[in-house]
């Protein structure tokens, strides 16, 4: 890790939208960046590639959805596939983070009460950063 820490991009994967957040390990902060609203893989990964070129993250973080009891489901497999595709396309380390309840936390943070995929990505990123600072 450099003196400036690592820049991280985090993703809240969805089949229609992908929330994106940016953060840094030195400051331990993460904030919502944007929502990539593209169902087609070429458009989705094209925009993600532009964000990677702009921000130069050293590591990518992907939310891994699970049932409340920790069991996997269809969305888990989709998010894991997305994580593998990120690694394969952009040759950066990818970490999966348990994202249970990230949407609930994101709704609390957004005054409109509407789901905000970018804010959910920020919640995922902050959880990752907290886990790195306070390993159990």
Residues of the chain where predicted confidence (pLDDT) is lower than 70: 1-4, 101-115, 136
Q: What fold characterizes domain 33-133?
A: Nucleotidyltransferase; domain 5 (3.30.420)
User: What's the distance, Cα to Cα, between the start and end of the chain in Å?
Assistant: 21
- How many other CB atoms are there within 10 angstroms of residue 67's CB atom? 11
Domain boundaries along the sequence of the chain: 33-133
pLDDT at 49: 98
How crowded is the C-beta side of 118, counted as CA atoms within 13 Å?
11
Paired with 31 in beta bridges are: 22
pLDDT at 31: 94
pLDDT at 9: 98
């Amino acid at each position: 890790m450099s003196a400036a820490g690592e820049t991280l991009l985090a993703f809240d994967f969805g089949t229609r939208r992908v929330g994106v957040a940016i953060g840094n390990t030195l400051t331990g902060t993460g904030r919502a960046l944007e929502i990539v609203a593209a169902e087609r893989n070429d458009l989705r990964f094209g925009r993600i590639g532009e964000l990677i070129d702009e921000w130069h993250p050293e590591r990518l973080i992907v939310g891994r959805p699970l049932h409340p009891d920790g069991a996997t489901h269809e969305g888990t497999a989709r998010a894991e596939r997305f994580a593998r595709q990120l690694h394969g396309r952009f040759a950066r380390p990818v970490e999966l983070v348990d994202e249970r309840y990230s949407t609930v936390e994101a709704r609390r943070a957004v005054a409109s009460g509407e789901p905000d995929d970018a804010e959910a990505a920020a919640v995922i990123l902050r959880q990752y950063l907290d886990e790195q600072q306070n390993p159990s």
